[in-house]
Amino acid sequence: MNIIIEIVCKGERMKDKKIKKRIDKNEKNSSKKKLIIIVSSILLFIIISIIGVALFINIHGLKSKLSIKLIGKDNIKIEVGSDYKDKGSTAKYDKNDLSKKIKVKGKVNNKKLGEYELVYNIKYKKLSKQVKRKVKVVDTKAPDINLTGEAISIIVGNDYKEPGFSAEDNYDGNITDKVKVENNIDKNKIGKYEVTYTVKDSSNNEKKVTREVSVIAKPVNSKGQGVAVLNYHFFYDKSIGQSCGDSICEEISQFKSHLNYLKQNGYKTLTMKEFRDWMYGYTEIPEKSVLITVDDGAAGTGKHNGNLLIPALEEYQAHATLFLITGWWDISNYTGSKYLEVHSHTNDMHVEGLCTGVSRGAQMLCKARESEQSVLDDLQKSIDITKSKTAFCFPFYAYDATTIKLVKQAGFELAFIGGSRKARRSDDKWHIPRYPIVQSHTLQDFINMVS
């Protein structure tokens, strides 16, 4: 029995050894397979990585050959209303110029404030690149404030009445309702004061202007005083060979003899403001006062056409007013001297014989019949140039009820004609008489006018 058991146990031990041996062999084979798989995976990863790097290097190399570049800055500011001219961009692939293939998206509206983006795209060989530019439309220009009338005088005790104003902005348009008006006027105290007008546009640009207001004493009775308003036109100098066949030409030495007489005999040559204030009863002037006016702006009156007038005025320290046809000659030819001021003789309505049925066929009268607005537009152009509404002169001394109405409507405080007599306060302020000076007048004739 024991022998049998021992044989069985021995068999079992033999069997266990074989099983164990088989298991060890299987485990060994499994480890080899795992190692092979791991090594294969690593090799595959390395191969894929190498391929990926190669592809990246290749693609990057291709892309690096494609380039696009802006011409000019990538951030630009332009003033609203100004033209925007895009400088564009350039593109290359290797050495090939592809600039013509660039496509631009976006648009700049130069009439509207804001920031705009322009995108420049280039596509080539399935590659693409882009650059961007930002354009900002801004408003940095301050509005304009236009005052009706200029410096003003009021008699002590009287209320200040605002003559009027307007404000215009290059972007917002009419902003008169946004103007703030401040003044420090004490109507009961004689002195000089200021009225300040301030306005801001939607971009916060500010404009400020002031008007001088004088509170003056009550005027005394002028006892019927008259002022000779002298009217010259053209000047020439015969000493340097100049001549003029027109009756309204004045030889410069003769003009100087007039100025010399005024100076030697104590006459005051008035500024236009002094004359205006006297006409309106704001102030008194010396009994010996004259107002010198010159019409048109032609021969000898400006720096560009002889320059005889200004040197003569400065030599005798005499004040004068030039009524300039502003559309015909540049006002800068007549500025720079404190003795000559410039006022309106229309902008471009100084033509006679243009129509029938009106005085001398004067263009201003003709135009008023066709379109009153066209006359107002012309007057406003001259006002914009002279910066003054104090005085106006009718071309050819020709006027009628309509043109007087339009001159008043434009805001002028005085208007001059002919008449060959002295001006008085009782005269209508929009057809003030003057003495036309002609070549045939002698010095004695001149003396008779001013005396």
Question: Looking at residue 3, what is its pLDDT?
Answer: 53
- pTM score: 0.59
Q: For tokens 């090939």, what's the residue?
A: 96
Please check whether residue 165 is in contact with residue 145, taking contact to mean a CB–CB distance below 8 angstroms: yes
Question: Looking at residue 36, what is its pLDDT?
Answer: 76
- Residue 22 in any domain: the answer is no
Question: Looking at residue 2, what is its pLDDT?
Answer: 53
Half-sphere exposure in the Cβ direction for 190 (13 Å, CA)? 7
One domain for residues 128 and 74: yes
One domain for residues 246 and 385: yes
One domain for residues 209 and 260: no
Question: Looking at residue 448, what is its pLDDT?
Answer: 96
Task: Residue 398: give its domain's CATH number.
Answer: 3.20.20.370
Task: Residue 177: give its domain's CATH number.
Answer: 2.60.40.10
Which of 190, 216, 242 lies at the terminal end of a domain, its last residue?
A: 216
Please check whether residue 219 is in contact with residue 278, taking contact to mean a CB–CB distance below 8 angstroms: no
Neighbours of 155 (CB within 10 A): 17
Question: Looking at residue 189, what is its pLDDT?
Answer: 93
Please check whether residue 283 is in contact with residue 276, taking contact to mean a CB–CB distance below 8 angstroms: no
- Residue 8 in any domain: the answer is no
One domain for residues 290 and 186: no
Question: Looking at residue 26, what is its pLDDT?
Answer: 60
Instruction: For residues 349 and 234, give the distance between their C-alpha atoms in angstroms, rounded to a whole number.
Output: 19
One domain for residues 327 and 429: yes
CA 219 to each of CA 205, 229, 285: distance values in angstroms, whole numbers, following the listed order: 43, 22, 10
* Of 56, 209, 201, nearest in space to 147 by CA: 209
* Residues 74, 80, 86, 87, Cα dihedral to 10°: -60
CA 37 to each of CA 24, 43, 49, 116, 304: distance values in angstroms, whole numbers, following the listed order: 20, 10, 18, 59, 103
One domain for residues 72 and 188: no
- Tell me the mean pLDDT per 10 residues along the chain, length 451: 50 58 61 73 75 54 79 96 94 93 96 96 94 97 88 85 91 96 94 95 96 81 81 97 94 98 96 92 87 97 96 98 98 96 98 93 95 97 96 96 96 95 94 96 96 92
- Residue 19 in any domain: the answer is no
Question: Looking at residue 48, what is its pLDDT?
Answer: 75
One domain for residues 188 and 244: no
**Going edge to edge, which strands form the sheet with 89-93?**
66-70, 89-93, 96-97
Please check whether residue 353 is in contact with residue 366, taking contact to mean a CB–CB distance below 8 angstroms: no
**Count of structural domains within the chain:** 3
One domain for residues 131 and 161: no
One domain for residues 105 and 254: no
One domain for residues 241 and 383: yes
Please check whether residue 403 is in contact with residue 368, taking contact to mean a CB–CB distance below 8 angstroms: yes
Q: Which domain holds residue 367?
A: 226-450
Which of 138, 155, 172 lies at the terminal end of a domain, its last residue?
A: 138
